[in-house]
Amino acid sequence: MGSTTMTLTRRAVLGGALASGLITGPRVFARPYDISEQHRRILGVARQQLERVRPSLWRTDVVGLADFALPSSLPRLHFADLEAGTVHSYLVAHGRGSDPEHDGFLKVFSNAVGSLATSRGAYVTYEWYDGKYGPSIRLGGLEPDNANAAVRAVVMHPARYANADMLAKWGKLGRSDGCFAMAEADFPNALWHMAAGRLLFADRLGLG
């Protein structure tokens, strides 16, 4: 077989392979980074609140936002990872003093000792310790609206009454004494992402 014939044959084989896609790599289409509008808003508020109290923090990678505009039946505690640009959301209970009718909606915030209510504002997380509900995270209030957090023993902790199965039975979570109580299965995420000098901010944020 002559060289001209071999060249033509090789061209024919390559052409057929290209046409059939046998030797081409997978097609790669450029896709814009996709993030939901809700997560975009959460990350924005997290950055804003972090800058406001940055001098009181010693870790700024993750910010917790508790959006008490939502009922306890919805995931309203958001861990915003500012380095990765991601958000993970969890159920969280509010204080019985903030919801005396126990209908699942927070009505009032209070910083008063004995109020059993949730306090609004910025908190710094401290070390974790072994408490009544197991591993828990101490909190320090950074503002007049939550300055009594340590005196009131307001912390983050796991609780059975904040588990998702409460929703199937009652349509709402149980209530804390003002603490940020999370589902038992979710709380290891708080220990890992929120302890030791990070920001937890609580208010009626209306982030959806």
DSSP string, 21-84: TSSSPPP---------HHHHHHHHHHHHHHHHHGGG-S--SEEEEEETTS-TTS--EEEEETTT
Consecutive H or E run containing 167: helix 165-170
The answer to whether residues 91 and 77 touch, using CB atoms and an 8 Å cutoff, is yes
Domain boundary assignment for the chain: 36-203
Cα–Cα distances (Å) from 154 to 10, 20, 91, 118, 146, in that order, read 76, 65, 17, 9, 9
pTM of the full structure: 0.83
Which pLDDT band, with edges at 50, 70 and 90, does 145 fall under?
very high
Mean pLDDT within 45-74: 97
Q: What per-residue confidence (pLDDT) applies to 208?
A: 79
The answer to whether residues 50 and 125 touch, using CB atoms and an 8 Å cutoff, is no
DSSP assigned state of 162: G
Mean pLDDT within 112-129: 97
Using the predicted structure, report yes or no on whether residue 32 has a pLDDT greater than 50. no
Which pLDDT band, with edges at 50, 70 and 90, does 34 fall under?
low
Q: Which CATH number fits domain 36-203: 1.10.10.10, 2.40.440.10, 3.40.1400.10, 2.40.50.1040?
A: 2.40.440.10
> b/e string for 23-57 if b means 16 or more Cβ within 10 A?
eeeeeeeeeeeeeeeebebbbebbeebbeebeeeb
Which pLDDT band, with edges at 50, 70 and 90, does 22 fall under?
very low
Within 13 Å, how many C-alpha atoms sit on residue 110's CB side? 18
d(CA 164, CA 42): 23
Q: Other C-beta atoms within 10 Å of 195: how many?
A: 19
Q: What per-residue confidence (pLDDT) applies to 96?
A: 97
Using the predicted structure, report yes or no on whether residue 167 has a pLDDT greater than 70. yes
